[in-house]
Amino acid sequence: MIFLYTFMFLFFLVKGSSMFYIFNYFFMEDFSIMMVMLNFLIYFSFFIMNINKISMFYLTILYWIMVMFFLTTSFLQMFVLFELSLIPIFIIIIWDGKQYERFNASTFLFFFTIVSSFPFLVIILEMKINAFIYNFDSENYAFFNSYFYLFLFLAFLVKLPVFFFHMWLPKAHVEAPIYGSMVLAGVMLKLGGYGLIKTFKYMSSSWLMYSQIWSSIFIFGFIMSSIYCLFATDLKIMIAIASVSHMTLLASSLSTLLMESLKGSIMMMMAHGFLSPLMFYYASVIYERTGSRSIYMCKSNSLIFSTYLFLICALNFCVPPSFNFFSEMLLSMSLISWWEKLILYLFIYMFLTTVYSLYMFISLCMKNKKMYMSFFDYTFKEVLCMNFYSYNIFASLFFIKIF
């Protein structure tokens, strides 16, 4: 029944939405509904997996918190839900994590995001935003333009996260159970991107003065994170840093304040929302069979395994005609149109992304037989879950007509 009510609610929103008539709210309305649908699809996939009832209870709470977050029209409500979403994922890591380090990882996650969000609360209170109206008071623009605007973005950049603010992410992913990593990468990281896009139209005049500085930092960040992936040996850490690389590219493009960057950012978040959980689920499948996440210790001669893995790696470096390809194309176009010399850095980034994706594929499928732990084909539920995410990546192409 929960699925029926959700679809009825979304249908009501679409039919009653003004997104096709008011241009200023076109992306905001559309984007909210798309994020709710992404949240729903990821939540639906957990019913295919074997998850205990207590964990499913916390996932359900987290699901509704994120639904309310994506549909709220108040910055104060956004902040409350933004921080409230940390509690279920904190409990999930503590409850179902396997190693003792899960306590350090969950505490680090909680502390890092709370500290970065505190200035956001101070700015909300200072700017006197009404709790039920999505609007800024006119007199607050001068206050924001002066010197406090960076604090508003800090919470979202940490939650996204971009390179330099990502230290909590690998720890959380390594210690979280598989479904914890999937919901963290698939939806929870999108809270940061959603917040950036929600503030996009309000903060553009202030951001322009510093956009070149921030873009340069982000460009350095997504190249460094791609290089880091080349030297990673833990499969979960490699996937987590790959997410950081994609999200840093998103932030770099969004800092140009061009319409193409806004469209590309929304598409990237949708594409990454399907691909990243698929990659983490695949890492879990390998770990369950071998007891290791090291790319040097795991290998399979299975044709089905190699086929699925190649599809995942190809999607990671944005092979056409996937949703990932069109999103990265728009992000790259916005950066190049903003500054033509960035084409060299984008080429380096795309080259490195392709290299570490193929490196992961070759390491897991093409090694000396005397040096690996072999494993065989998948169960029916595993194939069903991977097909669910794979099909959604290409089915997302239907969203392109919205843009």
- Per-residue model confidence as pLDDT tens digits over 268-296: 998 898 899 989 988 888 888 888 888 88
| Average pLDDT estimate for 79-95 | 90
Residue 71's pLDDT is what? 83
| Average pLDDT estimate for 204-215 | 72
pLDDT at 203 over 70: no
pLDDT at 12 over 50: no
Identify which has the larger pLDDT, 370 or 40.
40
Residue 295's pLDDT is what? 85
Q: What number of residues does the chain have?
A: 403
Residue 356's pLDDT is what? 94
pLDDT at 215 over 90: no
pLDDT at 367 over 80: no
| Average pLDDT estimate for 99-126 | 83
Of these ranges, 74-88, 336-350, 361-375, the one predicted with the greatest mean pLDDT is 336-350
- Assigned token pair, 310: 């190649």
3-state secondary structure of 1: coil
Based on C-alpha coordinates, what's the Rg of the chain? 20
| Average pLDDT estimate for 222-232 | 93
Q: How far, in Å, CA of 241 to CA of 280, rounded?
A: 12
pLDDT at 322 over 70: yes
pLDDT at 396 over 60: no
Name the H helices within 232-258: 235-254
Q: Mean pLDDT, the chain, as a whole number?
A: 79
Q: How far, CA to CA in Å, does 43 sit from each of 184, 273, 278, 341?
A: 12, 12, 13, 42
pLDDT at 201 over 70: no
3-state secondary structure of 181: helix
Identify which has the larger pLDDT, 380 or 161.
161
| Share of residues in the chain with pLDDT > 70 (%) | 77
pLDDT at 25 over 80: no
Q: For residue range 293-304, what is the model confidence (pLDDT) as tens digits?
A: 888 877 777 777
Residue 127's pLDDT is what? 65
Residue 370's pLDDT is what? 44
pLDDT at 9 over 60: no
Q: How far, in Å, CA of 358 to CA of 181, rounded?
A: 23
- Assigned token pair, 218: 């982000």
Residue among 357, 344, 285, 283 at smallest CA distance from 316: 357
Helices 26-45 and 259-290 cross at an angle (nearest 10°) of 10
3-state secondary structure of 299: strand
| Average pLDDT estimate for 12-24 | 40
Query: Comparing 143-147, 193-197, 387-391, which segment has the lowest mean pLDDT?
Result: 143-147
Identify which has the larger pLDDT, 270 or 210.
270
Residue 393's pLDDT is what? 63
